[in-house]
Amino acid sequence: MSTAAAIHPLWLRLTHWSNALAVIILVFSGWRIYNASPIFNFKFPEGITLGGWLGGALLWHFAAMWLLVANGVVYLLFNLFSGRLKNRFFPLRVREVFGDLLAALKGRLAHEDPRHYNAVQKLAYLFVMLDTLVVILSGLVVWKSVQFPLLRELMGGFDNARIVHFFAMAALVAFFLVHIVMVALVPRTLLLMTRGR
Binding segment for other proteins (CB under 8 A), chosen from 4-12, 123-131, 140-148, 183-191, is 140-148
158 binds other proteins (CB under 8 A): yes
135 binds other proteins (CB under 8 A): no
Say how many residues make up the chain.
197
Ramachandran area for residue 195 (φ above 0: left; ψ -120 to 50: alpha; else beta): alpha
* Closest CB 148 distance from other proteins, rounded Å: 9
Of the pair 17, 98, the CB lying nearest other proteins is at 17
Binding mask 2-31 for other proteins (x = CB under 8 A): ---------------xx--x--xx------
Give the one residue of 6, 10, 53, 77 binding other proteins; rule: CB under 8 A: 53
36 binds other proteins (CB under 8 A): yes
Of the pair 82, 145, the CB lying nearest other proteins is at 145
In contact, 88 and 121? CB cutoff 8 Å: no
Of the pair 8, 162, the CB lying nearest other proteins is at 162
Size of the site for other proteins (CB under 8 A): 36
Binding site for other proteins (CB under 8 A): 17-18, 21, 24-25, 33-34, 36-37, 39, 46, 50-56, 58-60, 62-63, 66-67, 142-147, 149, 152, 158-159, 162
